[in-house]
Chains A and B, each alone.
With several copies, the nearest count.
Chain A
C-alpha cells in the first residue's frame, strides 16, 4: 500500500460519507440523535481539504493529518474516536512510504487500541468497535496466509460488513444509544456502519 493508495482510500471514504450522509443520520436517528452522517461528512470534507495538494509520501504523517482534521471538525462521539483511530494508525506507520499487509495490520491494531482506550467500548457494546475488530482479524489472517494487500483489504471489508450487520440485534452499552437500553436492539449501529464503509 503506497502513500497514493492511502490518499485514494481517504477520497473513497469521503465520497462514501457524502453519499450515505442521510442514511447514516437516519440510522443514528433511530437510536441516537441523528447527526452521525452530517458529522462524518463535514469531517471528511475537511480531511480532503487538508490532504488536497499536501503531497509528501509519509503515510504516517498523512494519517495523522487525517486524524487531526477529524478531531477538530466532526465533534460528537465519532470525532474523537475516528480521529484517534487515524492518529494512532499514523503513529504506528510514521515515516513509512509504503505498508505491506503486516504493516497495515500493526497500524490498524494501534488505531483500534486507541479507539478502545478513548471510548472504553468492548466488543458487543454495539459500537464501531464491532465493525473494526473483525476487520482487523481478517486482515491479520490474510497477512499470516501471505495474501496480497488487495485480497487482504477485500477480506477485511467483508468481515467489517459482517460485524456491522451483527450489531443489529445487540443492546447498546455505550454512547447515546445506550439510553434506549433494550430498545436499541434491532437497529444497525451507525458508527459501525460508517466504519465498514
Chain B
C-alpha cells in the first residue's frame, strides 16, 4: 500500500487537523466526537443541515460545510459510517431553533447510526427530519436488498437544500425539497481500478488489466457487470443509458449533468466523458441546463467516474444557482 499517511490508525485525526489548519477561516473542527461545523453556526432561525458518512469520499462531506450548503459534516473512519454521538453533537451545534435536517446516504450503517442520533436529539427537544438519498441505479431496488445506494445526488441535494435553508424555509419544506431532489435524480458509476483503505492495506477488489467494473459503489461494492475496457463513448452509453431509462428522463427534459471523478481520474478524462455525455443526451433530446465536472464524491484513489442526472425545474435551477461558499463548492456573490 502506497499512501501519503503517517499510520492507518491516525488518518482521520491527521486529516481533520489538516482541514482545521487550512480552513480555520471557514470551519471549526471537533475531534471528540468528530465533526466539522461552519464558523457561524448555529445560524439563528435557519434550518440546520447535517450530513455525514465514512471518510475517503472527500471533498464530501466536509468540503461542503459553509454558507449555502451544509452546517455540519460528520466523518466516520474510512468507508465506515460515523457514530450517533457525532451526529448528536453536530445537530446540537447547528440547531438555530428552526430544526435540523439530516441528509443520509442509503447504507444500512449510515441509516441506523443517523436514526439513533435522531432519537437522541429528539430526546433533547431538537426537531429533526431525516431524508435518505438512494439514487444509484446500479442496485436493484427491491424488498430483497437494503435498497439503492446514495451517491452523486447527495452532493446536489446538499447544495440545493442548503440554498433553501438560507432562504429560511421551514424544516418541513427543506426536507420535502430534499426528497424531491432525490426523486428527480439518478446516478451510476464505473471503475477502472480498485482502491485500498489504509486499514485493509490491500485493494478491495481486483480487476484485470483490460477490465472495468460497471455499476461500482463508492466503497468498492461490486457493480452490475465486469467487462473489457471500452471507449469513453461506450462507457457513457452504458451509464447514461441505464440512468435515462430508469427515471425515465424524457425528450425535452432539462437536466443538471454531473460528471464525477472517483479520486484517481485525471480531469482530462472527465471532460472527455462530459463531451460524450453531452452528445449522448443531445441525441435523446435531453438538454443539459447546468453541469458539474470534477471529483466531488470520491472513493480514495479509485480510477473511474460516475454520472448523475437531475431533472431540473425553475425552482431547482434557481436554488442550484444560488450563492454557495464552501471549501469545495463556491460561486455567486456573498
Contact = CB atoms under 8 A, between A and B. Distances in A.
Nearest to B146: A178
B80 interface: yes
B280 interface: no
Contact of B144 (A32, A118, A181): A181
Interface in A71-107: 71-81, 83
Interface string B71-95: 0000011111111110000000000
A169 interface: no
Contacts of B108: 77, 119, 174-176
A193 interface: no
- Give the size category of B's interface with A: 35 or more
A183 B213 CA distance: 15
A179 interface: yes
B204 A76 contact: no
Interface of B: 33, 54, 76-85, 107-109, 112-113, 115-116, 139-140, 143-146, 149, 197, 199-200, 204, 217, 219-222
Q: Is the interface of A mostly helix, strand, loop or mixed?
A: helix
Given A179-B145, A181-B144, A79 B83 contact: yes
Nearest 4 pairs of A and B residues by beta carbon: A80-B112, A76-B109, A77-B109, A178-B145
A180 interface: yes
A8 interface: no
A33 B222 contact: no
Given A71-B116, A72-B33, A75-B109, A35 B222 contact: no
B290 to A, nearest CB: 30
A179 B80 contact: no
A25 B200 contact: yes
B33 to A, nearest CB: 7
Contact of A179 (B82, B84, B115, B221): B221
A180 B222 contact: yes
20 contacts: A29-B200, A34-B200, A34-B204, A35-B77, A39-B80, A74-B83, A75-B76, A75-B83, A77-B109, A78-B109, A79-B81, A80-B116, A81-B112, A118-B115, A173-B144, A175-B146, A178-B145, A179-B221, A180-B221, A181-B145
A72 B146 CA distance: 23
A85 to B, nearest CB: 12
A83 to B, nearest CB: 8
Contacts of A75: 54, 76-77, 80-83, 109, 113
B263 to A, nearest CB: 16
Contacts of B79: 33, 35
Contacts of A181: 140, 144-145
A32 B221 CA distance: 7
Contact of A33 (B82, B83, B115, B221): B221
A29 to B, nearest CB: 6
B149 to A, nearest CB: 7
Contacts of B146: 174-176, 178-179
A139 B76 CA distance: 36
Nearest to B144: A173
A116 interface: no
Interface string A14-30: 00000000000100010
A29 B79 CA distance: 12
A115 B9 CA distance: 29
Interface string A160-192: 000000000001011110111101000000000
B217 A179 contact: yes
A79 B109 contact: yes
A35 B202 CA distance: 12
Contact of A80 (B80, B113, B220): B113
A83 B139 CA distance: 29
Contacts of B222: 179-180, 183
Contact of B149 (A38, A76, A179): A179
Contacts of A76: 76, 80-81, 109
Give the interface centre of A32, A74, A80, A81 by most chain B CB atoms within 10 Å. Answer: A80
Nearest to B218: A33
A37 to B, nearest CB: 9
Contacts of A42: 77
Contacts of B219: 33, 176
Contacts of B33: 72
Contacts of B145: 173, 178-179, 181
